[in-house]
Amino acid sequence: MDKILLELKDLTKIYKEGLEKNKVLDKVNLKISAGTFNVFVGPSGSGKSTLLNLIAMLDTATEGEILFEGKNILNLSEKKKAKLRLDKIGFVFQFDGLLPEFSVIENVNMPALIKGKSAKTRALDLLKNLNIDTLASKMPPSLSGGEKQRVAIARSLINNPILVLADEPTGNLDGARKEQVFKDFAALAKEGIAVLMVTHDIKAADYADNCYKIENGKIDLKK
């Protein structure tokens, strides 16, 4: 039996603006197993980022539950949320979010440092695995878009997360580099990490264990 890492139960998100209500997620139910690469596609505005933000505990749900390792994470204190994020979840966002005044290796090591456990050796290993160890001492502004994305992936892994959330991580990459990132995520899943990646690129489905479509508040399995 697959180990369920994450479970969404009747998850609903309604944005209210004045009298207008925008139901972005409508009683969504979904189970994500450890060691799987899950891709989410859907039109612009369909709720993909909303979904990742809820799982990242950066936003509150209108209704429903998100169980992470069997526990509802939506009602945790801010302190517990912060600890859970730092200990178990890695993030890769469309705009890489690297700190320009720190070198590549310092950027990758940053979440470990915040946790109080500098891990430069591991940072270098991660860079090696992604074939960018030669960039370790470079500064982010001197890197290409693809190189920055890979540094951001290395950074997301520094604290050994069991869940990686990636919101259009290949947004500014060309075809070959996109596919390399998809391969990287598929390889991470093989190591036991659950990866959730939002993308507009349908090709990602070729590399994924599961491909979901988000539309009209619902999430349906396509593959």
Ligand X SMILES: Nc1ncnc2c1ncn2[C@@H]1O[C@H](COP(=O)(O)OP(=O)(O)OP(=O)(O)O)[C@@H](O)[C@H]1O
Interface residue with ligand X, options 2, 3, 15, 99 (CB under 6 A)? 15
Regarding 97 and contact with ligand X (CB under 6 A), the answer is no
Rg of the chain taking only CA atoms, in angstroms? 17
Query: Parallel, antiparallel, or unpaired: how do β-strands 163-167 and 210-215 relate?
Result: unpaired
Minimum gap (Å) between residue 43 Cβ and ligand X:
7
| 3-state secondary structure at position 122 | helix
The one of Mg ion, ligand X, none whose footprint includes residue 95, by CB under 5 to 8 A per kind, is none
Interface residue with Mg ion, options 38, 46, 49, 199 (CB under 5 A)? 49
Regarding 159 and contact with Mg ion (CB under 5 A), the answer is no
DSSP lists the bridge partners of residue 194 as 163
> Any idea how long the chain is?
223
Regarding 48 and contact with ligand X (CB under 6 A), the answer is yes
Degrees, nearest 5: CA angle 46-49-50: 80
The one of ligand X, Mg ion, none whose footprint includes residue 155, by CB under 5 to 8 A per kind, is none
Regarding 149 and contact with Mg ion (CB under 5 A), the answer is no
Nearer to ligand X, 20 or 191 (CB): 20
Helix axis angle for 145-157 and 104-114, nearest 10°, is 30
